[in-house]
Structure 1
């Protein structure tokens, strides 16, 4: 028996010298709100989804990849960072699926994301690579250059590659240090083709690391155990149901049992499988088992010489698959819909088609697309896979604006588009429904009668709208405005006033600015430009006329 074990060990070690093991790589993806920006008429997030899906198909077998995402769950949060897919072999489909469900909305904590990725990869103990794809600069008061130097100093063999997606050359220089200070590369990706090339080089064609020579040294033969494995773990969804087998949503954490029978000390081992076998020294243990991060169980067991312990757990749960749709006829789930599944004392939120194991019993599902919300409650049976379509009746407005009827289009990221209710309150105001900034952006809206308003500078316009569920409509708002550009050499305060006075003799102030120059978008009409100066110098005024769709310039001196 000892000879057989020694031969098996030697064969395994010889095989290891012929095997090339993959480095661990973490893709860190920017999902901040700016990913809704467009390149060649397509949003950056759509380009990233398609590009990653293509590149990951060519990843060599055995490559250990993970995915970390930031800015996809909360607006204005610097802690919105999620380990979406733990690093491992064969994760390409899981990464693609998660990216397809992302809804960009938050800030850009890229430094903290890279640091967390390095920690997860155990960069102080093992070789580790991070590939950062960002379309923006750090917005959370961190120094990426200083971080890179610290990671390089502490890491065993740590490298960060940075892909600046849509960044300018100057912006790229501010994040390139993350790569340069760790021995990595910076890639400028201005379109889909360049993004494919960058990800192919850093992910699909990343060099594989061969095992070190000392790792294949022949070990001393060990006595064979009395049994091949002394612990066999298994789990099911329901009584009498099939084993969960290789299902990696089942997490086993093995602890030694304390005097009170509870888990104590550090974990002895962690496994992500529904069923597996292991060997442990004789003693009492506790297995803490969780299904998809919830439905936790504590299973005590004892390992004895010559015997096989068989820890077993019945989760008494089912698999719920929720597909959010704008209409019942939609063939696929809407990737921009947020789906919250509430079960027992837990809840989970995903985007697009969301899968979650839930305890048997009542489950509440909440769906959100922009301001449109729905909620449904129903029962899930143990052992079943329940496919549920969640219809969230919502339409989409594509925002456009022009300065004048048939006149020039407004191409500005400063236009404030807001959808409000058609009905006015008693004071004449309308309730806000949703909003966004920038021409060419979109707003998800409920069905029914609404009004799309647009504001740029001191000019506003509005258009009544009515959309059906699933309908996408381009709406153009006429601002009926022109641009007035003012130069006031030597001045320190510029104010634009209406030329017409009210009954009290007052002129309406339209806008103002401190300095020698000011530009505003104004409704057509006559205006007075008043300039004030420092010291005893008297104010001066000039007259200007603004026409819709035209630019007027005036110098007051």
Structure 2
């Protein structure tokens, strides 16, 4: 029968502080007879005691840690398991002293030792980690691999790390499964230095390396779009008038303005009462309604809605051309309007149009009958004018 040494650390872990494991811990020391075997001319028990003392000396005094030993009181007894030092703060020296004075005699019940450590720490109620350092395999007809699978399947938050001290590859595989089945690590140690490093790696939580990161570039500001539309213009024929209704067919042309006020190419043409979302900037609006037009400049932002009112300074003229007051409107009558700016335009029949404010000259012809008049300044609301033409012969000289 081959005897073995195993050190097990079962710990309820929380977030590490200063690189040291926190929470209650139990070291399980397998004081088996194989500890008398030598590595590099030194007994393994001496190497283990020295490594254990080095690691414990570097731990935070506030760490609550205890010691379980087995195989230290009698030979051939798989039940020789004892809680030597209950887990508490400030016990590192007591554990070191106990390990230094301990006899190495008996069997290697690895499986029951791990189970006992889990029970002592009540691992079914809190996260627990076991670190097993062994120079041999299970010698008490138990299966540490099965225990790992059992604990994993039971829902216990339990992890085992295994350090193989001087094990062959095949022997390492026999105990590595305990780590694999619980999500832990298997580490091979072949001498005093590697055993100390293995203990430091598994017993003492190593701090994460500090990585200096390049500062992140300032994020590009997202474009501000706080409104659905930032331009909603309306038009009036004159100040204090109601807006021109949408059905009148008001036309709008929009031109972007350069920094010097020069208009660019036409951006869009809209009708009625438009609702637009344009890039922030300054624009020129030109409004058209029948014969009247006007323009204005407006500056737009992304977070506010501009509602400019364009004053057309215009009025509405309604003409009903008739041969006399009792006659119906003649649809073939030609109605010629001379506008204040000198432009001339012709309509036929009933004439209903918006014209610029000012004197409007009207010339109406129905067959050979002609009439003319000069209207006063058009105003809103609508005013109607019925102009009965004067009957004239084509050959007769015109009075104007």
Place the TM-score, normalised by the shorter chain, in its bin: 0.3 to 0.5
Computing the radius of gyration over CA atoms, which structure comes out larger, 1 or 2?
2
Q: Which has the higher contact order (CA 8 A, sep 6+)?
A: 2
Q: Which has the higher strand share?
A: 1
TM-score of the pair, normalised by structure 2: 0.45
TM-score of the pair, normalised by structure 1: 0.33
